[in-house]
């Protein structure tokens, strides 16, 4: 994993943008502290910062040019099946100078052209310059695990792994996209489309190839992968889906552990990360190193499950127990700098500190992103499944829906049943629910009238409002929800957070559940294997059961990077600093949210009427983003950058 960049001037007689690319390289130093380089030819400049994972020698440095001099690549990511592809390419006559996946990717493009990406199993964002055809070919992996941002205007086509790199080279791009702020602030929605927080910077969509023709300046792009549930089912799901998933997970873990540097894993104590640890332990002769964010308090404490997994599998566990002590906003400023954006919730703080601790021991870390979205792990999915059963018609699905509803009620109360469609509840069931809601603690407290959220200047501007439409490739609602959470509503944001938090400490994060074979398997799987016998992620639990303690495999509670920010910003120095930030003149004069809204949500939180910590967190990171990216470009790196410091730019 690395940092890539490039500039193509529209004027073909203009000398290559070496200085600009060097600035981009410097701004992305944390992504690749092991080396860097710049390639130029005519009006084309490519840059690279290297994090050495495979073939640590100088033979792996980039940008890398093919032996015949025609192709030059700058590449961020890992091609996990590079050894298998290397064998095919060697049989076709290619001779390799290194043992890197970069050279394999370069040869694959030379042999198969744009179609090479369909053969790749990995995570990637890369650009290949074809000297003879005078084109630049860019590609992003199927699920957007690796980032890729572009600027395309009359003067230039530029790209980079992080937006701050583009800002360092071109200060004119520090132009706020207020439509994105309006879209983001109420719910934390982001990274689900091409728009970014900067007006002229766009994100290349996942599973897309993009070609720039240097002679004409024409740009074209297309999707090379799409969801086809029936084809996925035929390809991956056999007569024994549990065995099929078991085999796919074993293969994915084996591929994701390929590295010439130490590999560890995050361990939350949940099913997904614990399953990864178990499968890693089966394939690694040494004890697996695990890293866990831990806090005290019933609603945050995962330590009992983390310890159970570490003991059962003989792992070397490292618990990260860091809590802020008056320095929360300093940490959030650093996190926001690395994220390039405001962020949705405080779980980033925990993940950030876990990555910092892991970086002392390992250079690659595996994580469980994707398991919940692929196999229905979140508790709200219960009511969606119940509604699907009610809508199917017939006695058996109807009874199955009632049985599942009763089981959810028993184990979780009525909280996760509030979305069950009342049309399918007979009158006595509705009355029974109403009588017992208070008993199960799901009766909402009376809410105060909320003031206008957005400042009138922002609320009145409907131009360019960002809207989204949800995909519906399935007949059932649960599968459609999981599809949208995987492709747009959840996973893209989680991947953004993980990439930036890990790369802040020069650690490569890998996500085996997003091996494309597992995603296609899950998207072709009958939802009855996902929520079954009252269990979420039933099929994954069956795979994990022989490998993990029953207390972990069959636990019903679910937390997921729990972070007690609600109590941090209710008292003490961190609360004081947060109040000072949110009521600062600079924040209130941004004309984004109203002072009345800030006062209302702050008061509700401080008086304990409602937990507004996530919204207050979004407010805070928005203001920090303005200060470090818009007011001036002011670096806040997690680690010092050797050599000349990156100067702040007014």
SS (H, E, C) 193-210: CCCCCECCCEECCCCEEE
Kindly state whether residue 122 falls inside one of the protein's structural domains: yes
Residues 186, 58 share a domain: yes
Q: What is the mean pLDDT of residues 489-511?
A: 97
Q: What is the mean pLDDT of residues 128-142?
A: 98
Residues 178-217 pLDDT 10s:
999 999 999 888 878 999 999 999 999 999 999 999 999 9
Q: What is the mean pLDDT of residues 8-14?
A: 95
Kindly state whether residue 347 falls inside one of the protein's structural domains: yes
* pTM as predicted: 0.94
Kindly state whether residue 545 falls inside one of the protein's structural domains: yes
Domain that holds residue 410: 381-442
| Contact assessment for residue 234 and residue 500, using Cβ atoms and an 8 Å cutoff | no
Q: Which of 418, 442, 466 is the last residue before a domain boundary? A: 442
Strands (DSSP E) found in 496-615 = 508-510
* Half-sphere exposure in the Cβ direction for 402 (13 Å, CA): 11
Residues 305, 265 share a domain: yes
* Helix, strand, coil percentages in the chain from 3-state DSSP, rounded to 5: 45, 15, 40
Residues 43, 11 share a domain: yes
Residues 452-498 pLDDT 10s:
889 888 876 656 788 888 899 999 999 999 999 999 999 999 999 99
Report the alpha-carbon distance of residue 59 to residue 36 in Å, rounded.
13
Kindly state whether residue 590 falls inside one of the protein's structural domains: no
Q: What is the mean pLDDT of residues 144-168?
A: 98
Kindly state whether residue 470 falls inside one of the protein's structural domains: no
Residues 16, 117 share a domain: yes
- CA separation, residue 329 to residues 583, 621, 624 (Å): 14, 9, 9
Report the alpha-carbon distance of residue 235 to residue 259 in Å, rounded.
29
Q: How many domains does the chain have?
A: 3
Q: Which of 204, 223, 242 is the last residue before a domain boundary? A: 223
Least-confidence region, from 116-120, 487-491, 644-648: 644-648
Kindly state whether residue 640 falls inside one of the protein's structural domains: no
Residues 519, 402 share a domain: no
Report the alpha-carbon distance of residue 166 to residue 159 in Å, rounded.
7
- Averaged pLDDT score across all residues of the chain: 92
pLDDT at 191: 77
Residues 247, 203 share a domain: no
Q: What is the mean pLDDT of residues 35-55?
A: 97
Q: Which of 442, 465, 489 is the last residue before a domain boundary? A: 442
User: Tokens for 226?
Assistant: 């799409």
pLDDT band at 427 (very low <50, low <70, confident <90, very high): very low
Report the alpha-carbon distance of residue 148 to residue 141 in Å, rounded.
10
61: domain CATH number is 3.60.20.10
Give the distance, in angstroms, between the CA of residue 588 and the centroid of all CA atoms in the same chain. Answer: 30
| Contact assessment for residue 355 and residue 505, using Cβ atoms and an 8 Å cutoff | yes
Residues 55, 201 share a domain: yes
Cβ-count burial of 202 within 10 angstroms (0-12 exposed, 13-18 middle, 19+ buried)?
Answer: middle
Residues 238, 214 share a domain: no
User: Tokens for 435?
Assistant: 């009588």
pLDDT surpassing 70 at residue 626:
yes
pLDDT surpassing 70 at residue 26:
yes
Kindly state whether residue 572 falls inside one of the protein's structural domains: no
CB atoms within 10 A of CB 74: 30
**For 519, which DSSP code?**
H
User: Tokens for 305?
Assistant: 């499950």
254: domain CATH number is 3.40.50.620
Residues 204, 144 share a domain: yes
Residues 242, 215 share a domain: no
Residues 397, 363 share a domain: no
Residues 259, 175 share a domain: no
pLDDT surpassing 90 at residue 48:
yes
Residues 544-599 pLDDT 10s:
999 999 999 999 887 666 789 999 999 999 999 999 999 999 999 999 999 999 99
Kindly state whether residue 605 falls inside one of the protein's structural domains: no
């Amino acid at each position: 994993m690395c940092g890539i960049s490039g500039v193509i001037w529209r004027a073909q007689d203009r000398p290559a943008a070496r200085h600009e690319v060097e600035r981009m390289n410097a701004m992305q130093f944390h992504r690749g502290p092991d080396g860097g380089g710049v390639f130029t030819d005519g009006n084309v400049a490519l840059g690279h910062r290297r994090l050495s994972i495979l073939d640590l020698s100088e033979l792996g440095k980039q940008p890398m040019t093919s032996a015949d001099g025609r192709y030059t690549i700058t590449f961020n990511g890992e091609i996990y099946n590079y050894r298998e592809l290397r064998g095919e390419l060697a049989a076709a006559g290619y001779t390799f100078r290194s043992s890197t996946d970069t050279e394999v990717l370069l040869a694959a493009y030379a042999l198969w052209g744009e179609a090479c990406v369909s053969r790749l199993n990995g995570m990637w964002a890369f650009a290949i310059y074809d000297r003879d055809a005078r084109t630049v070919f860019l590609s992003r992996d199927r699920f957007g695990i690796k980032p890729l941002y572009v600027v395309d205007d009359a003067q230039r086509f530029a790209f980079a792994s992080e937006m701050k790199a583009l800002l360092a080279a071109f200060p004119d791009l520090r132009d706020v996209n207020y439509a994105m702020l309006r879209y983001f602030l109420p719910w934390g929605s982001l990274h689900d489309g091409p728009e970014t927080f900067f007006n002229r910077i766009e994100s290349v969509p996942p599973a897309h190839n993009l070609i720039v023709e240097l002679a004409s300046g024409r740009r074209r792009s297309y999707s090379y992968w799409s969801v086809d549930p029936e084809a996925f089912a035929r390809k991956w799901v056999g007569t024994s889906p549990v065995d099929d998933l078991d085999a796919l997970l074993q293969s994915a873990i084996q591929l994701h552990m390929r590295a010439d540097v130490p590999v560890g894993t995050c361990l939350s104590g949940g099913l997904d990360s614990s399953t990864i640890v178990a499968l890693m332990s089966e394939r690694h002769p040494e004890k697996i190193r695990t890293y866990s964010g831990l806090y005290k308090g019933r609603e945050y404490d995962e330590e009992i499950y983390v310890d159970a997994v570490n003991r059962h599998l003989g792992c070397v566990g490292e618990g990260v127990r860091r809590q802020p002590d008056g320095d929360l906003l300093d940490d959030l400023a650093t996190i926001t700098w690395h994220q390039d954006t405001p962020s949705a919730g405080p779980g980033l703080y925990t993940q950030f500190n876990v990555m910092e601790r892991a970086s002392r021991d390992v250079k690659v870390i595996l994580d469980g992103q994707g398991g919940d979205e692929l196999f229905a792990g979140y508790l709200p999915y219960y009511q969606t499944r119940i509604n699907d059963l009610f809508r199917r018609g017939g006695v058996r699905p109807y009874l199955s829906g009632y049985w599942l509803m009763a089981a959810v009620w028993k184990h979780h109360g009525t909280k996760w049943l509030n979305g069950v469609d009342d049309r399918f509840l007979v009158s006595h069931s509705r009355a029974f629910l109403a009588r017992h809601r208070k008993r199960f603690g799901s009766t909402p407290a009376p809410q105060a009238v909320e003031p206008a959220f957005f400042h009138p200047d922002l609320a009145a501007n409907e131009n360019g409002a960002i809207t989204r439409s949800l995909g519906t490739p399935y007949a059932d609602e649960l599968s459609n929800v999981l599809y949208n959470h995987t492709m747009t509503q959840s996973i893209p944001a989680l991947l953004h957070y993980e990439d930036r938090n890990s790369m802040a400490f020069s650690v490569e994060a890998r996500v085996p559940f997003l091996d494309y074979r597992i995603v296609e398997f899950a998207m072709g799987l009958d939802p009855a294997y996902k929520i079954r016998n009252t269990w979420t992620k039933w099929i994954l639990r069956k795979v994990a059961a022989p490998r993990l303690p029953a207390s972990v495999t069959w636990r019903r509670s679910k937390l997921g990077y729990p972070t007690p920010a609600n109590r941090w910003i209710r008292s003490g120095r961190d609360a004081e600093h947060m109040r000072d930030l949110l009521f600062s003149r600079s924040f209130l004069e941004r004309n984004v949210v109203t002072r009345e809204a800030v006062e209302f949500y702050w008061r509700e939180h401080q008086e304990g009427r409602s937990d507004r910590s996530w919204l207050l967190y979004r407010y805070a990171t928005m203001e920090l983003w303005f200060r470090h990216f818009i007011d001036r470009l002011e670096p806040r790196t997690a680690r010092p950058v050797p050599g000349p410091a990156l100067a702040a730019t007014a």
